[in-house]
């Protein structure tokens, strides 16, 4: 079908152009004056370094995205998606095996194209700015492990979905949704216990002033914390972070060793107060619910679209087989990518609102000032951008900018009477 074929090309091209325009807009906004409230984040020398880092990253992203776009466009125009299936169907495999092999080939090919970029990013850019701590050996081991995990988990999930698709007809989207819900609950519950230990060591935080302060705050905030772990993030990068994982009895606080090294004790407690805020305000469940809702909409629309033979033709497949799970999935992913971007605007907006709420939770427990100095330190240590373009923030940021957060925290402090 000719018109659908051109619609696909238009979508792929428009998304790429919008993406690149936003990147360029953001890059051009880089020379802006630093707002007064942020004047103490960087020294002049360090700010110069930050600007260089910004340019290096932007150039890298531009090149990476352009190449991926060109490959996708050429492959699509040549009918590569359909031809690959045509070729595989010549082996007369079972449809499930065909789907798996199909995705394995596409996955492997895109992995091979991305690998040089990943190497360049780690060993050239991150290395140049002193972030990288990974070695070639560790990089290779990580690559093998993550490929195996993708193969097992991604392959398993796809097989299950393909199986339901071929056997359950109209019930597919509901049963598929049930699979996705169970999968995301399991993934959340097991992430810290199963996946993280494959890559990092997690050890309980030693008894001492920090643990005492964290426990004291947890009790005060009505959120007792008994499991605090330290993860050896310094093994790969000097960049710092902290997060909560799991829920119910399995929930745990995880601090990067790099965070402990760089922040004062009250600042660490303030960052944790923010994380506890996410829990207390139910953000974990809100995120999970919106994820499920999104999956439900996508699965339903996918099951409707998969009945169309026109999508198969537009992808370059002219055989008699119908429906074809993997081709329908690729057609769907391409066709709905604009809708996905629009949904992304909503979820990013929602996420930024939740960040303000979590900050407000920390400030309402008198941790506002410490949170501000802690966030400033994190920004400086990670060489983060102080003046992103507002449109870029609107589309791509899951967190408000540092300036927005500081202004909001200070406003709240005033409302609470200091």
Number of residues that bind Zn ion (CB under 5 A): 2
Binding residues for Zn ion restricted to 359-398, rule: CB under 5 A: none
| For Zn ion, the closer CB: 362 or 395 | 362
The structure tokens listed for 255 are: 């601090």
C-alpha closest to that of 108 among 159, 150, 153: 150
Minimal distance, residue 282 CB to Zn ion, in Å: 14
8 Å CB contact between 211 and 108: no
Spell out, one character per residue from 63 to 92, where the chain touches Zn ion: x when CB under 5 A holds, - when not. Answer: ------------------------------
DSSP 3-state percent helix, strand, coil across the chain (nearest 5): 75, 5, 20
String of contacts with Zn ion for each residue 277-316, x by CB under 5 A = ----------------------------------------
Least spacing, CB of residue 320 vs Zn ion, in Å:
52
Axis-axis angle for helices 265-280, 337-364 (nearest 10): 120
Listed ranges 79-87, 171-179, 203-211, 358-366: which one lies at the site for Zn ion (CB under 5 A)? 358-366
Nearer to Zn ion, 210 or 271 (CB): 271
C-alpha to C-alpha distance for 226 and 211, rounded to whole angstroms: 9
Nearest approach, Cβ of residue 358 and Zn ion (Å): 5
d(CA 128, CA 132): 8
Contact 354, 283 (CB under 8 A): yes
Beta bridge pairs of residue 253 = 228, 244
Q: Which residues are CB-contacts of 68 (< 8 A; sequence separation ≥ 6)?
A: 113, 114
Least Cβ distance, residue 150 to Zn ion (angstroms): 27
Which CB atom, from 291 or from 323, has the smaller least distance to Zn ion?
A: 291
Other CB atoms within a 10 A radius of the CB of residue 121 amount to: 18
Q: Which is nearer to Zn ion, 358 or 380 (CB)?
A: 358
Q: Could you give the 3-state DSSP secondary structure of residue 132? A: strand
Map residues 326-355 to x or -, x wherever contact with Zn ion holds by CB under 5 A: -----------------------------x
Q: Which is nearer to Zn ion, 155 or 291 (CB)?
A: 291
Contact residues for Zn ion, defined by CB under 5 A: 355, 358
């Amino acid at each position: 079908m000719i018109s659908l074929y051109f619609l696909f090309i238009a979508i792929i091209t428009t998304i790429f152009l919008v993406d690149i325009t936003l990147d360029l807009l953001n890059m051009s906004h880089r020379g802006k004056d630093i707002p007064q409230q942020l004047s103490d984040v960087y020294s002049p020398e360090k700010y110069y370094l930050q600007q260089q880092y910004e340019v290096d990253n932007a150039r890298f992203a531009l090149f990476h995205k352009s190449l991926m776009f060109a490959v996708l466009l050429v492959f699509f125009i040549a009918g590569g998606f359909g031809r690959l299936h045509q070729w595989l169907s010549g082996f007369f495999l079972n449809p499930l095996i065909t789907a798996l092999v199909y995705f394995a080939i596409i996955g492997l090919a895109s992995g091979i194209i991305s690998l040089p970029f990943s190497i360049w990013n780690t060993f050239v850019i991150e290395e140049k700015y002193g972030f990288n701590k990974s070695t070639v050996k560790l990089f290779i081991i990580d690559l093998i492990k993550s490929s195996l995990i993708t193969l097992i988990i991604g392959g398993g999930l796809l097989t299950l979905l393909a199986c339901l698709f071929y056997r359950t007809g109209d019930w597919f989207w509901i049963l598929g949704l049930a699979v996705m819900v169970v999968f995301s609950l399991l993934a959340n519950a097991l992430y810290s216990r199963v996946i993280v230990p494959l890559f990092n060591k997690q050890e309980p935080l030693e008894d001492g002033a920090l643990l005492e302060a964290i426990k004291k705050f947890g009790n005060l905030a009505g959120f007792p914390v008994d499991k605090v772990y330290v993860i050896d993030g310094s093994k790969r990068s000097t960049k710092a972070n902290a997060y909560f994982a799991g829920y119910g009895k399995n929930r745990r606080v995880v601090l990067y060793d790099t965070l402990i090294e760089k922040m004062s004790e009250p600042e660490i407690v303030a960052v944790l107060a923010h994380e506890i805020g996410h829990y207390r305000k139910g953000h974990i469940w809100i995120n999970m619910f919106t994820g499920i809702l999104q999956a439900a909409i996508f699965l339903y629309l996918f099951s409707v679209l998969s009945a169309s033979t026109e999508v198969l033709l537009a992808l370059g497949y002219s055989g008699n087989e119908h429906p074809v799970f993997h081709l329908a999935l690729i057609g769907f992913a391409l066709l709905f990518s604009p809708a996905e971007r629009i949904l992304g605007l909503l979820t990013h907006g929602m996420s930024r609102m939740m960040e303000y709420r979590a900050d407000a939770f920390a400030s309402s427990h008198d941790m506002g000032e410490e949170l501000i100095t802690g966030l400033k330190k994190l920004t400086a240590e990670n060489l983060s951008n102080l003046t992103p373009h507002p449109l870029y923030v609107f589309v791509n940021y899951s967190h408000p900018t540092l300036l927005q957060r500081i202004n909001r925290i200070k406003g709240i402090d005033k409302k609470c009477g200091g």
